Structure 1
Amino acid sequence: MDLTTILGILGAMASISIGDLMEGGNPVHVVHITSLIIIIPTTLLASMVSTDPEYIKGAWKNVGMNFKKSPVNLEERIKEIIELALMARRDGLLSLEKRVAELDNEFLKQGLSMAVDGNEIDTISETLEAVIEETEHYYHGCAHYWILAGETSPVMGLVGAVLGLILALQKLDNPAEMAEGIAGAFTATVTGIFGAYVLIGPMGNKMKAKSHHIVKEQKVMLEGIIGIVHGDNPRTLEAKLLNFLSPAEEKHSQFN
């Protein structure tokens, strides 16, 4: 579970609620069912107009990745690649055939299968680079749907507020009802802004950030496959692959 997403949302809600309570307000009054109905579905539907159907489906399919820990473990993947490099250097590329069939990653399996089948490095590289490019486009397209929805949400909040004010002004003969209507109208603005910067928009940015881990892993695997086909020294190859780790990650060599 990715606690940064959960704590971020809950923390933002808590801080707003505490501030409202300190000023004598009641956070429950901000939750206005009509505003939610006007803003959230309209925002999500309007964003579909500018988004390719493939990415809309992917945006909903992959939204769960924002709440889960990244499945990418570069250290373990590098360790696996080096083990394969050691086997290939010792027994030849054909010795990897059985091991390749047991791999859990389709990208790595595809690249090494091409290597075992005797394809040239340029062919392998071009094929896998195309996969990387499409993977990046796919996740960025999915993320863009949520980002676009986040940008649309405040505008829909304004629309909801204007609709509420129109109805409120029709009650000039009843000041109490008019004041209540105006208060309800402004909850739409709050809902739109909150949805944009705490709920909907951040989903897209977090999805884009997490997709970078997936793409980086593929780049690491591509470099590893090329190194294996070249017959690079496993120690040298490992040093090269460890450079893909971020400064926040410790680099541990399995040769030490």
Structure 2
Amino acid sequence: MDRISTAGTILGFVVIILGTILKGSTVEALWNPAAFVIVFFGTLAALLVQNQGTVIKRALSMAKMVYQTPKHRPHDLISRVVGWSEITRRQGLLGLEPQIEVEKDPFISKGLQLLVDGGEPDAIRSVLEVDMSTREAIDLAGAKVYENAGIYSPTLGIIGAVMGLMAVMQNLSDPSKLGHGIAAAFVATIYGVALANMFMLPMAARLKALVGKQSLMREILIEGLVSIAQGDNPRQIQTRLQGYIE
């Protein structure tokens, strides 16, 4: 679990609750079922209209990446690629077959299989780059769902506030209800703005950064496999790949 992201989420809730208390209000004042329905379900409705089901599904599956960040270790990947190069120099390309069987990453397995099958360097690069671009586009679309949620939720918050004020205006004859009604109306604005700026937009930015790191790892892998296919020696490959991270 990513402790920084978890701490940030908890801190966000604490800031809202503590700020409410310090302003002289109560925690109970933050709860308003009508505002919750308008902001959260309204935002969800907008996202469902904008995106296909597959995009929404991908976005939901990516949410855990914020709190369980995938480990991107380019130095380790470079070491592995150099190791594969050394194997091919001693045993030939067929010496990499055992590596395919134990590899858990489908992208790496695919690249190694292309290499073992004797694919030309340009062909290996072309196939893997298409795969990388497709996966990157899918992941960025998933991350954009959270970005769009951060755009819609403040507007839904305003709508909720206006609807609350409309209800207040209908009860002007009863002054005892005005204060509570106005306070409840603005809860929707708090929901919308807080959801956008403390959660949705930061999540979108974090996911985009993770997608970028994943693409960099795949670029390193592609360059390494192509270099092996070209017959470059391990030291040359290591020097070339280190240029991606230095």
TM-score range, shorter chain: over 0.9
CA 1:29–1:11 in structure 2 vs 1: closer, same or farther (change >3 Å)?
Answer: same
Between the aligned partners of 2:41 and 2:70, the Cα distance in structure 1 is 29
Q: Which amino acid aligns with 2:147?
A: I
> What does residue 192 of structure 1 align with?
192
Mapping of residues 73-222 of structure 1, within 5 Å: 73-222=73-222
- Say what the alpha-carbon RMSD is for the aligned residues: 1.6
> What does residue 254 of structure 1 align with?
none
Q: State whether residues 122 and 226 of structure 2, in contact with CA within 8 Å, keep that contact through their aligned partners in structure 1.
A: no
Q: After superposition, give the CA deviation of every residue in 1:174-196 in whole Å (9 maximum; x if it has no partner).
A: 11112211110001011100001
SS of the aligned residue for 1:95 comes to helix
SS of the aligned residue for 2:50 comes to coil
C-alpha displacement at 1:16, in angstroms? 3.6
Q: Which amino acid aligns with 1:226?
A: V
Q: State whether residues 153 and 195 of structure 2, in contact with CA within 8 Å, keep that contact through their aligned partners in structure 1.
A: yes
- Identical-residue share of aligned pairs (%): 29
Between the aligned partners of 2:28 and 2:207, the Cα distance in structure 1 is 30
> What does residue 62 of structure 1 align with?
62
* Structure 2: segments with no counterpart, 5+ residues: none
SS of the aligned residue for 1:49 comes to helix
Q: Which amino acid aligns with 2:186?
A: F
Higher helix share: 2
* Structure 1: segments with no counterpart, 5+ residues: 248-256
Q: TM-score, normalised by structure 2?
A: 0.94
SS of the aligned residue for 1:12 comes to helix
Between the aligned partners of 1:120 and 1:236, the Cα distance in structure 2 is 19
SS of the aligned residue for 1:119 comes to coil
Between the aligned partners of 1:218 and 1:28, the Cα distance in structure 2 is 49
C-alpha displacement at 1:39, in angstroms? 0.6
Q: Which amino acid aligns with 1:157?
A: G
Q: Which amino acid aligns with 1:45?
A: A
Q: Which amino acid aligns with 1:65?
A: M
Q: State whether residues 114 and 124 of structure 2, in contact with CA within 8 Å, keep that contact through their aligned partners in structure 1.
A: yes
Mapping of residues 1-40 of structure 1, within 5 Å: 1-40=1-40
Q: After superposition, give the CA deviation of every residue in 1:4-50 in whole Å (9 maximum; x if it has no partner).
A: 22122222332343343333233442232321121111102212212
C-alpha displacement at 1:162, in angstroms? 0.8
Q: Which amino acid aligns with 1:179?
A: G
Between the aligned partners of 1:153 and 1:19, the Cα distance in structure 2 is 21
Mapping of residues 220-239 of structure 1, within 5 Å: 220-239=220-239
How many equivalent residue pairs?
246
Q: After superposition, give the CA deviation of every residue in 1:147-203 in whole Å (9 maximum; x if it has no partner).
A: 101100000000100111111111111111122111100010111000011122222
**Bigger Cα displacement from structure 2, 2-11 vs 16-25:** 16-25
Between the aligned partners of 2:195 and 2:62, the Cα distance in structure 1 is 19
